[in-house]
Structure 1
Amino acid sequence: MKNGVQPTHARWTGMVPVDDTALAVTDTGGGGVPVIYANGHTATQGYWRHVIGGLGAGWRHITYDMRARGKSRRSADYSFETNVRDVDVVLAARGVQRAVVVGWSYGAFVAAYWASRNPARAIGAVLVEGAQPHDWLDAAMEQRIRKLFRRVSWILPLLRPTGLTPRMSADQIATSNIELGKIARKNVLGPVLDDITVPARYVVASGASFGSKGDEQERIRASLDEVVERNPNIKISAKVASNHDHIVRKDFRAIADAVREVAAIDRGRR
């Protein structure tokens, strides 16, 4: 930035190599505040188009497909830690020093961890229907997850050409979900959220998600009351009517508003 003017960057789409794979990345360019988006567990970067449209002009949007999702290539490592590190890889490849990080579902956990570890680089974080500390994983739930993905394993190869499912096996997807359950535990995620020193805003949905039963999702969301009570940097920006799976498409305006809010707080601090 020179004389308070953000340099303008050209639009770019391509592959960013990392470890044994390469990530499909899109950078809209421009001179606005950079926003990087972390996807849901099996989602692709295309899911963010409504949020990007809702924000309008004046922002630099960086989207990417996680390993084996969308147009990104397969990898030998689908661990949560690789996904957190890949945020740094994408930003470095695009020459971005500071950004708002926005994550939905699985991506909200990625965004929370990245913001907690990078206070000098995170303008703020918007956590959409995820990063809620709750001990929801036990032996019975683990079996349920594995059973669910074994049951749908036959259809995964059929859906891959459409981009609706990752190029991962059913067992790999189940293992990744189970790992997330361990990361979501109060004694694991709680300290991460407590360490966030940049403005962070939650956007939460109502109702259930794929694979959940009864009021499971609402009990998980209730954990945020303690989070915002402990950390004044974190607030719930909105609770919207749509459910977990449809929130990015149906309530994109609430997500866009939360992005504007954290960026405005950052400007006020500088």
Structure 2
Amino acid sequence: MSAKHPAWTGMVPVDDTTLYVADTGGSGRTLVYLNGSYANQKHWQKVISELGGEYRHITYDERARGRSKRSADYSFEACVRDLDAVLRARGVERPILVGWSYGAMLAAHWAARYPGRVEAVVAVDGAIPYGLTGAESEERIRKLFRRMRLLFPIAARLGLAARMSADQHADVNIECNEMSAVLAPVLDRVSCPMWYILATGAHLGAEEEEMGEARAALDPVLARNPNLQVGARVTSNHSKILQKDSPAVAGVIRRCTVPRDHSVG
């Protein structure tokens, strides 16, 4: 039987900042939840409630999100270092990474880089090899965030924005799109089970044609790598999937953790 870990909440130092981490403890399989670009850990509450005490749940806020402190670096590689710091601080060796949106891409990269350190990945409407790139797309993204800048303080309190400037929000989004556009080779290298949960509803800020192209871009990768599979398709959209379809998300997590030695391909 696995050792029982005590529940814990606190701050974990990394680089020039500290991250707020919550660990439910317990002796079950360890699930580490990775948030969307500007979200905090509260978005996982319904999923965690669905799964209950059978698992050990670890959530944390990224830099300038939730209760975590600001930083001089909001890059993707900083997020990689943050995940490493959280795993090290909590003594986690082979977690199941559950990522939503940006967090799903982080989980995929982590699994590809460190194949022996991940038991499985659950990608909630993310880690799709499609992104808007080029000067025209970058300007579109920057204009969108500049128009929204007055809403950020309110959205941050709701867990929907970071304590960043409009341009910093845009920088994160632009980098995410650039990395998503070249994600396919990363997904080809994933050697652990990776389960997708895909939203099918319309999403604010994305045109219907773009959404169709994004979803279709995943098909060739699924065909090439048998470790990747779609666990569920749900009717909610990208923003609402954790709230409206938490039972489906929890169901896929259960499927990927039973039996314990489950593998695909």
Q: TM-score, structure 2 length as denominator?
A: 0.95
Q: Does residue 1:103 correspond to 2:99, yes or no?
A: yes
Q: CA deviation at 1:256?
A: 1.2
Q: TM-score, structure 1 length as denominator?
A: 0.93
1:158/1:239 Cα in 2 relative to 1: closer, same or farther (>3 Å)?
A: closer
Kept in 2: contact 1:206–1:218 (CA 8 A): no
Deviation string for 1:188-239 (max 9, x for gaps)?
2111100000000000001222311223222201111111100000001111
Q: Matches of residues 112-151 of structure 1 in structure 2 within 5 Å?
A: 112-151=108-147
In 2, the alpha carbon distance for the partners of 1:148 and 1:179 equals: 15
Q: Matches of residues 1-270 of structure 1 in structure 2 within 5 Å?
A: 5-185=1-181, 188-264=182-258, 266-268=260-262
- Using the TM superposition, name which of 230-239 and 259-268 deviates more: 259-268
In 2, the alpha carbon distance for the partners of 1:110 and 1:265 equals: 25
In 2, the alpha carbon distance for the partners of 1:228 and 1:97 equals: 27
Kept in 2: contact 1:35–1:59 (CA 8 A): yes
**Secondary structure of 2:115 counterpart:** coil
**Secondary structure of 2:213 counterpart:** helix
In 2, the alpha carbon distance for the partners of 1:72 and 1:194 equals: 33
Kept in 1: contact 2:42–2:159 (CA 8 A): no
**Secondary structure of 1:126 counterpart:** strand
1:144/1:94 Cα in 2 relative to 1: closer, same or farther (>3 Å)?
A: same
Q: CA deviation at 1:69?
A: 0.2
In 2, the alpha carbon distance for the partners of 1:62 and 1:228 equals: 28
Aligned residues: 263
Gaps of 5+ in 2: none
Kept in 2: contact 1:123–1:262 (CA 8 A): no
In 2, the alpha carbon distance for the partners of 1:205 and 1:142 equals: 25
In 1, the alpha carbon distance for the partners of 2:124 and 2:156 equals: 25
Deviation string for 1:29-82 (max 9, x for gaps)?
000000000001111101001111111221000000000000000000000111
In 1, the alpha carbon distance for the partners of 2:112 and 2:256 equals: 15
In 2, the alpha carbon distance for the partners of 1:195 and 1:189 equals: 10
**Secondary structure of 1:17 counterpart:** strand
1:135/1:246 Cα in 2 relative to 1: closer, same or farther (>3 Å)?
A: closer
Kept in 2: contact 1:34–1:62 (CA 8 A): yes
In 2, the alpha carbon distance for the partners of 1:102 and 1:78 equals: 21
Gaps of 5+ in 1: none
1:161/1:126 Cα in 2 relative to 1: closer, same or farther (>3 Å)?
A: closer
Kept in 2: contact 1:207–1:218 (CA 8 A): no
AA aligned opposite 2:152: L
1:134/1:164 Cα in 2 relative to 1: closer, same or farther (>3 Å)?
A: closer
